[in-house]
Amino acid sequence: MSYRLTRRQQEIYDYLVENQEEFHHPPTLDELCLALGLSSKGSLHKQIQALINAGLVDPMNNQRRGIRLTQPPGAEGELPMMGYIAAGQPIEAIDHNERMEVPAFLRTGGDCYVLEVRGDSMIDEGILDGDRIVVEHRETACNGEIVVALVDGCEATLKRIEQKRGAVILHPANPNMKPMKYRPGQVQIQGVLVGQMRSYH
């Protein structure tokens, strides 16, 4: 099951990732409070517990009091960044041949990749313009899943799929936009949404 971090939890995790080499040993709660400028160790403990529940931080015990990342970021956690995809009118997904570090809890065991969202047709699903989404490569999907759909062999779009006899309907999540209906042969499923990332910078 995926676990969505709050903004504060993401900031703490990002700090641990970016500054892990600055600590001579895994930082304690007191040391992390000082580094982050926090006054409440209890509040930080709750945030760290959430990161433990998400599988990003190892459980703490009496023998190992420091805060340790479960898996140091590296090549094994990187996914290909395949360009951008429309969450509005279809635009072509472009292969940029870049790679991006993605936490394990946002991925599956399958073949995954990252796309940047352009447009606002999925805003009611919490998917905003500029978000990075993690997609598991699949050629089939269940009704109701959010998919990367290739339309007429050339244009990719992000929509919730409905498959009926003789028709495939791609549903936006924006009341100002209408569903798009195609013949089954016009739509090729390229993947299913499994994770989402957002920057607040």
Where in the sequence numbering do the catalytic residues fall? 121, 159
User: In terms of Cα–Cα distance, which of 83, 72, 81 is closest to 100?
Assistant: 81
Cα 84–108–127 angle (5° rounding)? 40
Residues 80, 117: Cα–Cα separation, whole Å: 15
Residues across the chain: 201
Tokens, residue 188: 């090729």
Residues 164, 93: Cα–Cα separation, whole Å: 26
